[in-house]
Amino acid sequence: MANHAAGDGGIPPRNVAKDGLTRVMTLGGHYGLRNHTVRGLRDHKGKKVLCETLPFTPDEAAAAEEAGIDTMKVRFDPKQPHLAKAIRDAAPKTFMAFSVPLVAAATEDEAVRLAYTAMELGADAIMCQWSPRFISAAAEAGVPVQGHAGLVPRKSTWTGGLKAVGKNVEEALWVYQEIKTIEDAGAYAVEVEVVPEELLNEISKRTTLLTSSIGGGKGGDIQFLFAEDILGNNPPPYPRHSKQYRKIYELQEAIQKERVGGFKDFIQDVQDGVFPGKGHVIKAAETLVDDFLKEIE
């Protein structure tokens, strides 16, 4: 007798690893292969620093997977779910958390429904800036949740704006308590943004959560950097915590310069009578025009 539910198509349920991948079934009911599971990620805590990125396009996601990135976050807009789904499909073997909008859920029930929608599209987890109540509701519903602490940009008015958090004892204690509250709510991980490296190092030792560091130095269990920073998609200035490993913006500028040059050359050729040339037109048969004129006249 089959040991999987009717309608759950895809890869047969065998606990066999292939090429370092693990067979899984998503919360949405789809079989697949992944480089990590929540349990596997947790097993790395304190033993191995993982790498995480947030791609903005399917091409970036596919490149990150081919390079061997451990985990990805993907911005999830419930009004345009196809965007996140395209990135999911481009990197099908990488553990991926969909980053759900803060203001898209106003109740625990809405939080659970939004989390389920993300999971149905193939997410392995969600990342959120929600309150502990919402995190708890989603976690209780079986959804792996990554929270957010330290500098939370959308809540930055509470911490004095877009600047580092935790630089004095009062703030450091607050960051620690926020992380412990997220832990108690049932999350598996927390993104910790722009806090002192030494502080995050001590907090990481005192929480079961995987700490994803962006601007928290080497204190985290995971090093997180946006794909646009890694690839240098944009020109300076850059955030202090970022590093650009390529300068794709220079290539994009060169491509745009080539576009402009191409249009200019086309315009000039038309004005000079060079385009279209003999090789670009259809030559009429010898008597075609004379015969045509006789017919219409």
Structure tokens at 88: 């999911």
| Under 8 Å between Cβ of 87 and 73 | no
| Under 8 Å between Cβ of 29 and 6 | no
The rounded Cα 255 to chain-centroid distance in angstroms is 25
Paired with 53 in beta bridges are: 72, 225
Among 120, 78, 121, CA closest to 103: 78
For residue 33, the tally of other CB atoms under 10 A from its CB is: 15
Distance CA 152, CA 179 (A): 12
- Count the helices and strands in the chain (H runs, E runs): 10, 10
Distance CA 64, CA 52 (A): 9
C-alpha distances in Å from residue 42, one per residue of 37, 115, 186 = 9, 21, 14
* Residue 193 known to be catalytic: yes
Distance CA 241, CA 216 (A): 8
Sequence-separated (6 or more) residues with CB below 8 Å from residue 216: 150, 192, 193, 194, 195, 196, 197, 199, 200
Give the residue carrying structure tokens 């990590």. 36
Among 60, 171, 183, 193, the one annotated catalytic = 193
Query: Which residues belong to the active site?
Result: 193
